[in-house]
Amino acid sequence: MNIEQFIQRAEALHQRLADLYQTASVLPWIPPDLLPEAFKELYSNSKMVQLAAEELYQQNEELIQTRNLLEAERQHYQNLFEFAPDGYLVTNAEGIIKEANPAAAKLLNISQQFLVGKPMANFISLEERQCFRTELNQLSQSDRIKELVLRLQQYRGESFDAALTVAVVRNQYGRVNSLHWLMRNINQHQRIELVSVNTNSDLSQGRPVFKHSKGETIPLNPLVIWYVRQGLVKLSTFCETGEEVLIGLATTEMVFGSNMTSLPIYQAIALSDVELVSIYVAEIAVTPMLSYTLLPKINQRLQQTESFLVISGRRRVEDRLHHLLQLLKRELGEPVGEGTRLSVRFTHEDIASACCTTRVTVTRLMGKLQQQGLISFDLKKHIVFKN
């Protein structure tokens, strides 16, 4: 039975009880003090069921809208991945390919679908495979984006020099979840130059830094991408009912901008004091190394959006809250003596908007988690996850 049928039956039940109650109240041969107390209580409980059903229906509608908004956002970032001019691969920790975009397939001279499941080492030239495997083993020990210059071998084709940028993505337990590889064909002259390139170079070098205080709305310009040099930015939109919907969090070294979304309403608010660097889209188009550096950061936003999409797909509010807290712990957690502490404070309203529920419900569930000893709050009201 779906929610609409449940509401219809609850309304019908309530109406029948109301009619019976009204009839019994006006019959002259039944004294009012003899009206069964149980009947009055049943009528009252019926009214409560009806109100609860209406609230459930409203929350379900908001959940559907949120899921649609997140799906549009996810699709937009997926398109950025698919249509990126450079090759992009996602592998597991052992280097087995899980995803590949068309540019990667073209670069390696193999159909996109046949790339999935293949070891990435198959496309490294024989003389450099040992070096590649050594680098692969070392990646699990670092979280920094790393650049490699290796010789790749096409499937039944030629070999070529390539610049590879790899980022490590970990799960909530700190284990390597996936490796994200950006690939670009380079000539011998570029190979010599790129051996010394550090893709972790400060993107703010030579660009003005804009500072915003906590709570300020950050202006968005379709010609500009913002790079977060320091701090945390909340990204949100609004559904048809006017409710704010949290769709992302831009942390340090991540990027965001109105030109990176397909949503008609897009808002960015500083959740802490932030420092931002503006990068013009036109500059990215004519600077290959800049786009080469930014693409992994854009992919971070895709992954985070997909995580929010998974949260919105959970049917029970308790499950949505649990997975949201785990996401926040992974993205913003910092170790403290008592456990893991979120670096910024989230209000129950913020959490409710991400979980598609009410602030009252979040307050109740958070209180329950606190009673169970799973979370606590520090003096600044930051959530602390117990060890």
Q: What is the CATH number of the domain that holds 285?
A: 2.60.120.10
Mean pLDDT for the stretch of residues 372-377: 91
With a cut of 60, say whether residue 26 has pLDDT above it: no
Q: Could you give the percent of the chain with pLDDT greater than 90? A: 16
Higher per-residue pLDDT: 54 or 384: 384
Confidence grade of residue 216 (pLDDT, cut at 50, 70, 90):
very high
One domain for residues 115 and 63? no
Q: What is the average per-residue pLDDT within 146-150?
A: 80
Of residues 353 and 326, more confidence is placed in: 326
Give a yes or no: residue 29 inside a domain.
Answer: yes
Q: Which of 120, 153, 125 is nearest to 139 (CA)?
A: 120
| Most confident among 81-95, 171-185, 335-349 (mean pLDDT) | 335-349
**Residue pair 372/322 in contact by the 8 Å Cβ criterion:** no
Task: Decide which of 318 and 199 is more confident.
Answer: 318
Q: What is the residue range of 144's domain? A: 84-194
pLDDT (0 to 100) of residue 135? 84
Label residue 117 by pLDDT band (50, 70, 90): very high
State the Cα angle at 169 between 112 and 89, rounded to 5°. Answer: 15
In a domain? residue 312: no
Q: Which of 3-12, 107-116, 185-194, 369-378 has the lowest mean pLDDT?
A: 185-194
Per the prediction, the chain carries an average pLDDT of 79
> Look-up: residue for tokens 């307050």?
363
pLDDT beyond 60 at 167: yes
Q: Tell whether the model's pLDDT for residue 323 goes beyond 60.
A: yes
Among 347, 324, 341, 337, CA closest to 377 = 341
Residue 119 in this model has a pLDDT that exceeds 90: yes
What does pTM read for this prediction? 0.53
Q: Is a pLDDT exceeding 80 seen at residue 25? A: no
- Which of 48, 79, 110 corresponds to the end of one domain? 79
> What average pLDDT does range 19-27 have in this prediction?
61
204/230 Cα distance (integer angstroms):
11
Instruction: Kindly state whether residue 119 falls inside one of the protein's structural domains.
Output: yes
- Say how many residues make up the chain: 387
Range in 68-72, 134-138, 322-326 the model is least confident about: 68-72
pLDDT of the residue at 41: 59
Last residue of a domain, one of 252, 279, 306: 306
Q: Report the interhelical angle of 288-312 vs 317-332 (nearest 10°).
A: 150
pLDDT level of residue 300 (50, 70, 90 thresholds): confident
Query: Does 73 lie in the same domain as 94?
Result: no
Count helices and strands in the chain by DSSP H and E runs: 11, 16
Structure tokens that stand for 217 in this block: 């709305």
The listed range with the strongest mean pLDDT (60-64, 162-166, 291-295) is 162-166
Domain co-membership, 174 together with 228: no
Tokens of residue 160, six digits: 């070529």
Number of domains the chain is built from: 4
- Lowest pLDDT segment from 127-131, 164-168, 199-203: 199-203
Residues 15 and 113 in one domain: no
**Nearest partner of 207 among 229, 180, 177, judged by Cα:** 229
* Residue at 50 is within a domain: yes
The residue among 170, 194, 218 that closes a domain is: 194
- pLDDT greater than 70 at residue 250: yes
pLDDT value at 194 more than 50: no
Q: Tell me the average pLDDT across 94-119.
A: 90
**Domain assignment of residue 162, yes or no:** yes
Specify whether 108 is located in the same domain as 185.
yes
| HSE-CB of 173 using CA atoms within 13 angstroms | 3
Q: Within a domain: residue 201?
A: no
Output the pLDDT for position 28. 55
Residue 45 maps to a domain: yes
- Compute the average pLDDT of residues 225-253: 85
Q: Are residues 91 and 144 in the same domain?
A: yes
- Over 80: is that where the pLDDT of 321 sits? yes
CB 67, CB 151: distance < 8 Å: no
**Weakest-pLDDT range from 75-89, 247-261, 291-305:** 75-89
**DSSP helix/strand/coil, 47:** helix
